[in-house]
Amino acid sequence: MDNNTASNIAPVTTYCTGCHCFKPTELFAGRQRQYKTCKICRSRKSNVGKPIADDLLATLEETINLIPSRYNNDEIAEINRDDASIEYSFSAYIRLDQAMLNMDDQQLVTRIRTSIEARDGYHYYQYFTPSTQLKFGSTFVCCCSQSSETQRQVPEDRLKRRHTRMETFNCNGTIHGMIDRPNRFVRITIKHPIGHRAAPNTRNK
């Protein structure tokens, strides 16, 4: 046996359908079966509908300021703002003030999405997703408009006129969110693991 065999054995991991990451396989073990979601995600789901500790909540403005900025970063030259590569992952609980509670779900998600876009410089398509677990609220997902997974390009032979196509990347950029109105918060998880240039004219949309 190769003496290096033991040291070359990689830890066993399993893909989590909740957080979409590979986690140690022991986090998926149940008493009678193997789960498809890790222990962390199952714990998070068990807290659905429960209040969040006050010290974990932040205002929308405080949350946005924690996101890497394409436009307020002095290390990025002004002429290279749109070419900068911003990659990050981020989770937060946004406190809903009365003005935000007065918005309907579409208005609320649009407010959050456009605030994120103005910060990281990307543009996102937003969708609402059905969830049987959330009788009191809604879940939503916003996908990066330049993600090759979500951007469907029209074949050349079907184009009625020539135009410049949007540049796409294998970035898998998403914003997942849950609106909990009774407990006055929105939970968001942003994942943009691969940074890339911003699409033209996305700023301040």
Q: How far is 120 from 30, CA to CA, in rounded Å?
A: 39
Task: Sort 32 into a burial class: Cβ within 10 Å, 0-12 / 13-18 / 19+.
Answer: exposed
Is the pLDDT at 9 greater than 50? The verdict is no
Residue 6 pLDDT grade (very low, low, confident, very high; cuts 50, 70, 90): very low
Q: Does the pTM of the predicted model rise above 0.85?
A: no
Residue 110 pLDDT grade (very low, low, confident, very high; cuts 50, 70, 90): very high
Question: What per-residue confidence (pLDDT) applies to 61?
Answer: 96
Break the chain into its structural domains and give their ranges.
Answer: 1-46, 47-192
Q: How far is 79 from 98, CA to CA, in rounded Å?
A: 39
Residue 99 pLDDT grade (very low, low, confident, very high; cuts 50, 70, 90): very high
pLDDT tens figures, 167-194: 889 999 999 999 999 899 999 999 999 9
Six-digit token pair at 131? 């969830």
Question: What per-residue confidence (pLDDT) applies to 175?
Answer: 96
Is the pLDDT at 40 greater than 50? The verdict is yes
Question: What per-residue confidence (pLDDT) applies to 74?
Answer: 59
